[in-house]
Amino acid sequence: MDPLVIIRLSEVIDMKKKYIPYTMIAPYFILYIAFGLFPIIFSLAISFTQWDGIGTATFIGLKNYIRTFTQDKFFYQSLGNTTLLLLVNTPIQISVGLLMATLLKDFFKKTRGAFQLINFLPYITTPVAIGIIFQLMFDWKSGVVNGLLNLFGIDSVYWLGNAWASRGVVVIMEIWKGFGYMMIMFLSGLSTIPEELYESSRIDGAKWRHSFAHITIPLLRPIFTFVIVTSVINGFKLFDEPQLLFSSTSQPIGGPDRAVMTVVMRFYETAFNGFEFGYGSALAYCLFIIIAIVSFFLFKFINRESDMA
Amino acid sequence: MKKRTRVLALAVSSFLTLSAFSGCASKEPVNTSQGGAASSAASAGAPSKINIWCWDKSDSRAQMHSKFTEETGITVELTAVQSKDMTQKLQTTLASDGDMPDIAWLEATFRGKLLSLNIWEDISKAPYNFDKANVLDYLIPLETSEDGQYVGPECPSVAGLAYKRELAKQYLGTDDPKELEKLIPDWDSVIRVGKDVMAKSQGKVFMFSSLGAVGNMLKGQSTDPFIDGDKLNLKTSMKPILERLIELKKSGMVDVLDFDSPEEGASYAGNEHIFYPCANWSVEFTIKSNDKDGKNRWGFMLPPGGPFPWGGTVMGVPQKAVNKEAAVEYIKYFFGSEKGASLQRDFKGNFSPFKPLYANADFYSAKDEYFAGQDVLQAISQDILPNIKGVRLPSKYDQDINDAYNLVIKTINASKDGNVSADDMISKMEDDLVNKQPAITK
């Protein structure tokens, strides 16, 4: 018998043996194709059309992309807002998360579990509840934040009516919500650092701050890479919190002067309020391109740093 | 044993896959008639069920519907959809070819855009033949799309002014509605009287709770279109409204609360604000729900500048609805008959668009203990409704205009003592709208 035929036959027999594992993983791939891959390709296709979601889609080539980059001031404004919020949120979230993780590991060994839970709770709280809580807390007239300011003789601030103040509220919301997640990531990283390193440094006379700077930080590099890259990607996708903070019908979309309108809010508004599915998809793809470019440079930068190290 | 494992693996993975896709299945149409059949499911004697997408799933509505079911055999199923989510929900359902409701509630803010979509039945035409001649005249333009299609009726939503009797007596000298109407017949007199109130209360009592509340009144009292086709008309129509709002802001007699916010809701039970715009639906949905202990605290009067339309929810029957004829039966019953109007009045406190009813002055009449025994229903039907001067026609840009308006209201509210100009606000609105909708021109 031809050796090639023998090889093919053995492959078929081999496949037959392996079809159970293939069957077991098939649901994931089928669901991914249906609910992941298909929408991605479909939205790419409709980004080249003018479509209101109801009638027939008309092919218009690159016009939606040209409109995004040449005509849509809201796109640039929302991109600026998103970047600003991202640049402020991410370092603070990471710093607070790292600090909390280190403090819990080193100084709260007995009560660590309880503090971990408390700090992680905001991350799993539903964004709708967070939106309402912050609306009430930062209300101009009856909010507790202004109440506190008044106690110290400071005038009330129209937090949700002033562009910069509302950005501040979104930053506080994001930090409050996200630092617990960062803390968990860093705690998992800290658990992999051998305790002997700290012991020997203590024997050599190193203080806590020295161990933190020369042992903890360098050995947490992989965790830093992960949290920075995911924070930047998630930061560009910011939507829930600013949307819910200004969700009632009497509030402008994106808050005062559209100060907290993010790119995803702009996309959502265009597609689902403005009935411009084609243009909305183009906006989503523009965001995808931006995230891809930023992630690429971020990876390059982090890898260069680790190569140098 | 091996065979059993294989069968189990296949069964489990098939179950996982199929159960995930089960949500994509669509129901078999019960009655796919395009309207050619003369009789409805109800009239044919077959039990029929309609599904309504709405934001009121209260017990009182269910009780009202049970009376309708007893008479017609049509059962009513309600699906909760927030008014602001209706557009998106309808659109995504259409795009995904999902199950459309038999009736969808189309709220005033979103009505222009929704009516402009060619997805509704014209229920005034055969085979439905809803008699729109019996609908109150002022409502018909609000229920008709730009290409002349009559989509469906709505309950009249008109507004006057509610006030807190105790505060009115203390700061305005009277709590009698007729005397108050004489005291503040227009907005100039509001500013004059408001200054006295501010002085008497040392700035602790405000005439109104929010600029948005006053803005709603002013918008309702004018009829000039904000946009003519695709061309903005804000300088003529919106500028006088903003000028008045800035004047009120400067006077300090309007509090800084955000309109329709939880804080404004809480202010109904407080003693800092005298007047609130009050539509017929506000009595149950706003005043009584926010001021639980408010019996005898409230009064109702004609507002300065006259009564105005506020809100309104059109009943739309989608072309892709399954039980269209039963849906129109429902609409005819509740919006085109005295029996349905009585149920709407008794269970929901709603007014009917059915014109013949208004010849009988006592049809809408009930003493209200929240309003110290005042007959608010009769005041609305006899004093407010006949005095509505006109309406602003819906436009597909209503939602965008409303959003731009909310933006400038924020700016005026945030400004120190109203230190902004109406011209700047108009420019801001125009830029915002042109940016958002490139088809719009200044």
Q: Cβ contacts of residue B264 below 8 Å, gap of 6+?
A: B209, B210, B213, B257, B258
Q: How confident is the model at residue A60, as a pLDDT?
A: 95
Angle at B170 between CA B166 and CA B176, to 5 degrees: 65
Q: Cβ contacts of residue B413 below 8 Å, gap of 6+?
A: A158, A161, B210, B211, B249, B256, B258
Report the range of poorest mean pLDDT among A236-250, A291-305, B1-15, B204-218: B1-15
Query: B155: which DSSP letter?
Result: -
Same fold, B48-156+312-359 and B161-308+393-436: yes
Per the CB < 8 A criterion, the answer to whether A185 and A223 are in contact is yes
> At the topology level of CATH, where does B48-156+312-359 sit?
D-Maltodextrin-Binding Protein; domain 2 (3.40.190)
Residue A255: count other Cβ atoms within 10 Å of its Cβ.
27
As a dihedral over the C-alpha atoms of residue A243, residue A248, residue A252, residue A256, rounded to 10 degrees, the angle is -70
Yes or no, beta carbons of A256 and B410 under 8 Å apart:
yes
pLDDT tens-digit series, residues B347-397: 988 899 999 998 888 899 989 999 999 999 999 999 999 888 888 988 989
> At the topology level of CATH, where does B161-308+393-436 sit?
D-Maltodextrin-Binding Protein; domain 2 (3.40.190)
CA-based diameter of chain A, in Å? 96
Measured distance CA(A120)–CA(A179) in Å, rounded: 8
Measured distance CA(B433)–CA(B422) in Å, rounded: 16
How would residue A11 be classed by pLDDT, with cut points 50, 70 and 90? low
Query: Is the dihedral angle over the CA atoms A175, A176, A180, A186 positive or is it negative?
Result: positive
Element (H, E) at B354: none
pLDDT tens-digit series, residues A254-309: 999 999 999 999 999 898 888 889 999 999 999 999 999 998 888 888 777 666 65
Give the gap in angstroms from C-alpha B134 to the nearest C-alpha of chain A: 32
Q: How confident is the model at residue B74, as a pLDDT?
A: 95
Instruction: Supply the Cα-derived Rg of chain B in whole angstroms.
Output: 25
Yes or no, beta carbons of B255 and A141 under 8 Å apart:
yes
Using the Cβ of B204 and the Cβ atoms of chain A, whether some distance falls under 8 Å is answered with no
Matching residue, tokens 């539903």: A126
Using the Cβ of B39 and the Cβ atoms of chain A, whether some distance falls under 8 Å is answered with no
By Cβ distance, the residue of A20, A135, A162 closest to B414 is A162
The percent of residues above 70 in pLDDT, for chain B, comes to: 94
By Cβ distance, the residue of B91, B266, B404 closest to A272 is B91
Instruction: Say whether A247 sits in a helix, a strand or coil.
Output: coil
Which tokens in the block code for residue A181? 């997640």
Using the Cβ of B407 and the Cβ atoms of chain A, whether some distance falls under 8 Å is answered with yes
With a cut of 60, say whether residue B29 has pLDDT above it. no
Angle at B251 between CA B245 and CA B253, to 5 degrees: 85
Per the CB < 8 A criterion, the answer to whether A14 and A239 are in contact is no
Yes or no, beta carbons of B9 and A23 under 8 Å apart:
yes
pTM of the predicted model as reported, rounded to 2 decimal places? 0.84
Q: For residue B414, list chain A residues with Cβ-Cβ distance below 8 A.
A: 158, 161-162, 256
How would residue B33 be classed by pLDDT, with cut points 50, 70 and 90? very low
Q: For residue B263, list chain A residues with Cβ-Cβ distance below 8 A.
A: 136, 139, 141-142
How would residue A50 be classed by pLDDT, with cut points 50, 70 and 90? very high
Yes or no, beta carbons of A27 and B91 under 8 Å apart:
no
Measured distance CA(B401)–CA(B395) in Å, rounded: 9
Average of pLDDT values for A1-26?
Answer: 69
Mutation for B interface: A42, A249, A253, A258, most B CBs within 10 A: A249
Instruction: Say whether B367 sits in a helix, a strand or coil.
Output: coil
Average of pLDDT values for A131-151?
Answer: 90
Q: How confident is the model at residue A43, as a pLDDT?
A: 94
How would residue B41 be classed by pLDDT, with cut points 50, 70 and 90? very low
Q: How confident is the model at residue A116, as a pLDDT?
A: 86
How would residue B270 be classed by pLDDT, with cut points 50, 70 and 90? very high
Q: Where are the domains of chain A?
A: 72-308
Q: Cβ contacts of residue B41 below 8 Å, gap of 6+?
A: B30, B31, B47, B48, B74, B323, B325, B326
Residue A49, strand partner residues = A59
Question: What is this model's ipTM?
Answer: 0.80
Q: How confident is the model at residue B2, as a pLDDT?
A: 67
Which tokens in the block code for residue A182? 């960062």
Measured distance CA(B324)–CA(B270) in Å, rounded: 47
Yes or no, beta carbons of A274 and B5 under 8 Å apart:
no
Q: Which amino acid is at A111?
A: T
**What is the domain class of A72-308 according to CATH?**
mainly alpha
How would residue B34 be classed by pLDDT, with cut points 50, 70 and 90? very low
Q: How confident is the model at residue A24, as a pLDDT?
A: 83
Q: For residue B255, list chain A residues with Cβ-Cβ distance below 8 A.
A: 141
Per the CB < 8 A criterion, the answer to whether B322 and B32 are in contact is yes
Per the CB < 8 A criterion, the answer to whether A122 and A181 are in contact is no
Measured distance CA(B322)–CA(B320) in Å, rounded: 6
With a cut of 80, say whether residue B35 has pLDDT above it. no
Yes or no, beta carbons of B407 and A71 under 8 Å apart:
no
For A25, the closest chain B residue by CA position comes to B13
Per the CB < 8 A criterion, the answer to whether B413 and B256 are in contact is yes
- Backbone φ and ψ for B176, nearest 5 degrees, come out as -85, 125
By Cβ distance, the residue of B5, B10, B94 closest to A53 is B94
The percent of residues above 90 in pLDDT, for chain B, comes to: 69
pLDDT tens-digit series, residues A102-112: 999 888 878 88
The percent of residues above 70 in pLDDT, for chain A, comes to: 93
Matching residue, tokens 């407010």: B384
Per the CB < 8 A criterion, the answer to whether B206 and B253 are in contact is yes
How would residue B32 be classed by pLDDT, with cut points 50, 70 and 90? very low
Q: What's chain A's average pLDDT?
A: 88
Yes or no, beta carbons of B258 and A20 under 8 Å apart:
no
Q: How confident is the model at residue B26, as a pLDDT?
A: 56
By Cβ distance, the residue of B21, B109, B119 closest to A54 is B119
Instruction: Give B216-220's long-range contacts (Cβ < 8 A, gap of 24+).
Output: B216/B259, B216/B277, B216/B310, B217/B159, B217/B161, B217/B277, B217/B303, B217/B305, B217/B308, B218/B187, B218/B244, B218/B245, B218/B305, B219/B308, B219/B392, B219/B405, B220/B159, B220/B308, B220/B309, B220/B310
Which tokens in the block code for residue B334? 């509740």
Average of pLDDT values for A138-156?
Answer: 92
Measured distance CA(B163)–CA(B379) in Å, rounded: 14
With a cut of 70, say whether residue B47 has pLDDT above it. no
Yes or no, beta carbons of B411 and A257 under 8 Å apart:
yes
Yes or no, beta carbons of B438 and A139 under 8 Å apart:
no
Yes or no, beta carbons of B260 and A250 under 8 Å apart:
yes
Q: Where are the domains of chain B?
A: 48-156+312-359, 161-308+393-436
Q: Which amino acid is at B230?
A: D
Give the gap in angstroms from C-alpha B406 to the nearest C-alpha of chain A: 5
Yes or no, beta carbons of A74 and B411 under 8 Å apart:
no
pLDDT tens-digit series, residues B302-325: 999 999 999 889 999 999 999 999
Yes or no, beta carbons of B255 and A135 under 8 Å apart:
no
Query: A277: which DSSP letter?
Result: H
With a cut of 90, say whether residue A7 has pLDDT above it. no
Q: Cβ contacts of residue A162 below 8 Å, gap of 6+?
A: A256, B414
